Structure 1
Amino acid sequence: MPARRLLFVNATRVTAYHWLPSGPKEEASFAANEPGLSAFRDYLRERSASLFYLLADLAEEGFQVDELPHVQGNDRRELIKRKLAQYYYGTPLSLALSLGRSKKGRRDEKFLFAGLLGVSQIEPWLQAMRETEARLAGIHSMPFVIAALVGKLPAATERILVISASSAGLRQSFFENGQLRFSRLTAMATDRSDLIATTCASEAGKIYQYLAGQRLISRDQPLQVLVLAHDGQRADLTRNLPDTPERQVQFADIGELARRQGLAEPPADARGDRFYLHLLMRQTPHQQFAPAEDRRFYRLWQARHALTIVSATVFGACLLLAGGQMLRLSELSDRNAQVRLDVETGQRRYDDLMRGLPPIDISRDSLRDLTDRYRVLARRSAGPEPLLRHLGHALDQAPRVELTRVDWRLDDGGAHDPRADAAQSQGATKGGSHALLDIQARLPAAMALDHRGQIEAVNAFTGLLSTGEIQVRVISRPFEQESGKAIRSSDATGEIEPPKFNLRVMQAL
């Protein structure tokens, strides 16, 4: 994170501070003249990587409360822009603060329009920042910094006048329901307690008359006044600033407030420049006066900073992914090493077993071929029993089929009927050894005229015989189905014969 620096601007000079968590530390002060501006430019160039926050404490300020129709989007922005141009024509240092919606009528939205009218006092410093491409985060005004403190003050009421002192003078800020309504600065060249008290009494009287004239308070109601003063000056202020029918005065120790905000070195007197700068960084107001052009380099830094964060996040994710891959690679490497060790152990055990066997005059390949041939012979030696058992199960489920002849034989791929190749191509292995079962069977004579029933019976029996390992081919059916041949139901003698059919069952060995 780049260093953050604070620029306190009043009518006569700019004081630069380096902000630390313990509080601002003064670095330099520049008078409002050409040598001061030149030194200020050198100061900015030497600290080009810093972020700058400008706090203006000027007498030439304007505050206006007005209502606008409650609209959204571009219409709202245009209305606010038009009102700011109407109230503060000629100054780009203006803002609008929403005060909420009215509870009467059409419920318009209330705004506080504020502007820094002393552009000539602040413009030379802004021009120096433009020339050096300084990263200006924002331009803030003292009343809005004090506004962040009002809610935490012990004497906060519905309407209150807060009087504070700084190197620029004595500031009076009026708040209604915790929201700033207006503020004014009175130049004061002394820090004597009696003169401060006299000035406070005079300014409080003027503001009371103004508020009563604007009907913001009734004349029979005293104005609540809170003075932010140093504890060492409280006795003189109490003596010279008593309560009157027009005002009720309370005091708040600025040193105690500074300690609560984390300022390591509280102010030595009522001029709390460092305290207000510290408060600005602790509770930076959302509203600021700098136009977009003056914040250009700050926005560029924000974009670059965001890209850096995104890049770091992506890089971190890649590191995590790479770490996971490295861990997985390590696990696979360990597993491969274990597999190699198991293979080597198995090979050694195999070699030990082979060395323990009696020597034979045959190579390993020849021995492997011999055992393979033995397995083939063992499969072929099973005989017809497996196929006949399978045939018996099929006959149990097809009671209308009657066997007349069964022939079993072995085939090495070329001795059987060539027409059986189609059946072999569907499930059996071509060119291998097969067990063949040629079946001659017949159906009951009552089905001699039921051709459809004959087809269904033969197909059902064929389906019972067919499995994944056993293929069945119909050699002949009970009647001729070829086109152009007559269908006969008896022989020449006129006697009805049982329908006959032939099947070939093959099983790969």
Structure 2
Amino acid sequence: MNKRILYQSDYELLAFSVKGKTLTAAQPFPINDKGEAQFARYLSQDVKTPIYWLLDTTQEEYQIALLPHVWGKDQLELMNHKKRRLFENAIYTYAIIQGRESQGRRDDLGLFMALNNPNLLQPWLNLIITFKIPLAGIYSLPLLSETLLKFLPKAPYTLLVAHTPPMGTHSAAGLRQSFFFKQKLQLSRLVPLDIQNSQQYTDYVLRQISTTHRYLENTRRLSQMEQPSPLSVVILTDINFLNTLKQRVKESLPGLTVHLIESHQFTQQLGLQIETTTLYLYHWVAYALTRRWYHNNHYAKPKENRYFFYRQLRLGIYFTSLLLLSGATITSWMIVAKAVVVKQQGQTVEDKIHKRQEELDKLKNRIPQLPLDSIVLIRNVVDVGSYIKAHHISPQAAWEKLSQSLSRHPTNLVLERLEWGIGEVKADIFQSYSKSTSPTDTEPANQTEADSTPYFLEGMRIYGKIDNIQDNLHQAAIMFRKFIDDLKQTDSWQIEEQRSPYDPNQALQGRIGPRLDTDEATFVIDIFIKHPYVKTSS
């Protein structure tokens, strides 16, 4: 995304754009009515591209202050109160917490900044608001210089020295000196620089660095650490003055660590592409500003950058709408794909139904005497076969156990008839022997056990009698009870007595008339065996 950069000094306003890693040539606007008219025409040509405004002025003040360590809203109110006390009449102020003290109460270290002359911004700001240009923010160039320190030699105390554009008609350039403690800005100085020859340039630069060094020592800015550390001076300059500085720096700045870096070499290190041959500090800061998606605004008021806020809000709505549209499209595609699969499955089932119907029609034609309920009959046969095949159930095992139990009892205990079947519930296997159905007859077979395993039932109904009891029903009852107890010893067998050869309740009832002689006692027993479902691969 293209971004426009405004660089303002006390002398002029420069406008250039950044596209990718390339900075275009700057367009100057003088600080007068003619410059304002030119700036208005410049803004009217493009009212959509956002503007990032860099300030590089001598009318910016810096203060370091200690604040009690608090959080959130209390911290914000404390900082605002401190700004009002330090800069009573200033309109444009900014404050930031840079860390905490290492000793004592461990108060917060705050940097407080202000523009002493708001008229410096007003003419240009009025035009930006008039054309409704999205203003991202108004930034202090020395404060944004912190972003360059990660590309420079690291040190606790750093003095960054670099060139700025001319500060007036009588100066060839400016010299910006910014002091950082632990990579955080403490103060900055901007002085005019007259470059006549390399010798005079070297003397002037070294003298200004010595002046700043003495000031830092006198204000005890270099004693903020328990263990003393030398001041690291980083000088960004052209190749023309680099060799002269190398010869003089050791004798002019004793005790300091000095790093000389050629401007074009540093530009290549950043990856910046620029057309001009004269490089200034604002080129690197502007490039670093556009490489990050967000920077805290320093001086712009909410009413001054409201159009940038509207722009960001509009972009957020567009992006959210795009996400919703993409999500709806993907969901619709998934629904359509699922509908196609369901349709294919339905078509497959329909084809199978037609095929089975054709086979059934052929069967009817082949066997005309087939009963009308043949479909139900065939289905029942298939269901029984499916049960047996699917669950591998054969009556042989149960019958063998039953025969073993019968062999252990007298021969007069006779088995007359045996019914066998499988089903989901007891009523599916046998009809109730009596007219009243037990509540357990309709209990579903696939209810879960303690181990949560579904099961089905295998059932046997035994019709039997006890011969030659010679009217001794009590003896028959004893033999029947032993047979029942024997059956109950078999694991997983559930025994239900449907009919008993002897009912004590009936025996105790009185009877008028002759005694009814009988030589046999009949009984009916249901045996149910639970079988878990066998999981088979589909």
TM-score w.r.t. length of structure 1: 0.69
| Cα distance change on mapping 1:131 and 1:447 into 2, 3 Å | farther
How far residue 261 of structure 1 moved from its aligned partner, in angstroms, is: 0.9
| Cα distance change on mapping 1:336 and 1:479 into 2, 3 Å | closer
| Cα distance change on mapping 1:95 and 1:18 into 2, 3 Å | same
1:274 aligned to 2:283? yes
Amino acid at match of 2:219: Q
How far residue 19 of structure 1 moved from its aligned partner, in angstroms, is: 1.0
| Cα distance change on mapping 1:366 and 1:345 into 2, 3 Å | closer
Partner of 2:436: 422
Q: Percent identity?
A: 19
Aligned alpha-carbon RMSD (Å): 5.3
Partner of 2:503: 478
How far residue 214 of structure 1 moved from its aligned partner, in angstroms, is: 1.5
How far residue 270 of structure 1 moved from its aligned partner, in angstroms, is: 4.6
Q: Distance in 1 between matches of 2:184 and 2:65?
A: 14
Q: Is the 8 A contact 1:6 1:19 kept in 2?
A: yes
Q: Distance in 1 between matches of 2:305 and 2:407?
A: 95
1:226 aligned to 2:234? yes
Partner of 1:262: 271
Q: Distance in 1 between matches of 2:513 and 2:265?
A: 131
SS in 1 for 2:266: helix
1:322 to 327, 332, 350: 332
Q: Is the 8 A contact 2:54 2:139 kept in 1?
A: yes
How far residue 425 of structure 1 moved from its aligned partner, in angstroms, is: 11
How far residue 438 of structure 1 moved from its aligned partner, in angstroms, is: 9.6
| Cα distance change on mapping 1:480 and 1:39 into 2, 3 Å | same
Q: Is the 8 A contact 1:23 1:262 kept in 2?
A: no
Amino acid at match of 2:132: E
Q: Distance in 1 between matches of 2:182 and 2:376?
A: 107
Pair member with larger Rg: 1
| Cα distance change on mapping 1:176 and 1:479 into 2, 3 Å | closer
1:42-191 equivalences under 5 Å are 43-44=42-43, 46-154=45-153, 158-168=157-167, 169-188=174-193
Q: Is the 8 A contact 1:406 1:438 kept in 2?
A: yes
Q: Distance in 1 between matches of 2:143 and 2:107?
A: 24
Q: Distance in 1 between matches of 2:201 and 2:468?
A: 133
How far residue 348 of structure 1 moved from its aligned partner, in angstroms, is: 6.5
How far residue 27 of structure 1 moved from its aligned partner, in angstroms, is: 6.4
Q: Distance in 2 between matches of 1:398 and 1:45?
A: 113
Partner of 2:260: 251
Q: Distance in 1 between matches of 2:359 and 2:305?
A: 80
| Cα distance change on mapping 1:172 and 1:247 into 2, 3 Å | farther
Q: Distance in 1 between matches of 2:496 and 2:230?
A: 115
Amino acid at match of 1:328: K
Q: Distance in 2 between matches of 1:19 and 1:405?
A: 104
How far residue 197 of structure 1 moved from its aligned partner, in angstroms, is: 4.0
Q: What is the CA deviation profile of residues 222-264 of structure 1, one whole-angstrom value per residue up to 9, with x for unaligned ones? A: 9654332111343566689884256866532111111111112
SS in 2 for 1:55: strand
1:391-410 equivalences under 5 Å are 396=406
1:211 aligned to 2:223? no
TM-score w.r.t. length of structure 2: 0.66
Q: What is the CA deviation profile of residues 49-101 of structure 1, one whole-angstrom value per residue up to 9, with x for unaligned ones? A: 32221111111111112222222222222222222222223334333333332
How far residue 28 of structure 1 moved from its aligned partner, in angstroms, is: 4.0
Q: What is the CA deviation profile of residues 390-427 of structure 1, one whole-angstrom value per residue up to 9, with x for unaligned ones? A: 9x96993995997799899xxxxxxxxxx954359996
Partner of 2:170: none
Q: Is the 8 A contact 1:479 1:487 kept in 2?
A: no
Aligned length: 460
Amino acid at match of 2:237: A
Q: Distance in 2 between matches of 1:441 and 1:35?
A: 134
1:445-460 equivalences under 5 Å are 448=474
Q: Is the 8 A contact 2:470 2:520 kept in 1?
A: no
SS in 2 for 1:59: coil
Q: Is the 8 A contact 1:7 1:17 kept in 2?
A: yes
SS in 1 for 2:146: helix
SS in 2 for 1:422: coil
